[in-house]
Structure 1
């Protein structure tokens, strides 16, 4: 991820109280760019339904918390690039 992962996130308005949260690093024509759907909650806050990385939902008190939470969600869903651990094995029975 970049040094400031929040700046890769874009809120696209769908209505006065609903937005689509997208990742600007992914082409906008790719469905994988959509991270979540966001709705303004009554009386305050935001309800978030995650699309990227599995289903689930969350609530955030303000937009700053929402963007930081979304950046953490994207980071948690990122594939790991570590080398696989070698599989321990025993020699074939014929070698014994």
Structure 2
């Protein structure tokens, strides 16, 4: 995988209220300031933990001890789902039959 060609993820927590956020990805530097692509909804639970409902990289619900842990998990999920934009490996074929 060519790491130079891989997108750089800029995650941002956008507040939705006192205890809820949207986790958005601004993969391109020029997109900053826009909405970005939704990665997860995050909510602070009464226990003080943070629940993340992932909408990108496979739907799943996880609980984390801190917002920092949510961000680290987001980077890991996005890094695992990055495509390589490489050509497919060609399938070897036999030479065509020749009739004499």
Contiguous gaps of at least 5 residues in structure 2: 1-6
Give the number of aligned pairs.
89
Instruction: Quote the Cα distance in structure 1 between the aligned partners of 2:61 and 2:84.
Output: 23
Contiguous gaps of at least 5 residues in structure 1: none
Instruction: Quote the Cα distance in structure 2 between the aligned partners of 1:51 and 1:63.
Output: 17
TM-score using structure 1 length: 0.76
Q: Deviations over 1:32-78 (max 9, x none)?
A: x1111001123121111111233112221111111111011111121
Higher helix share: 1
Which residue in the other structure is 1:69 paired with?
Answer: 73
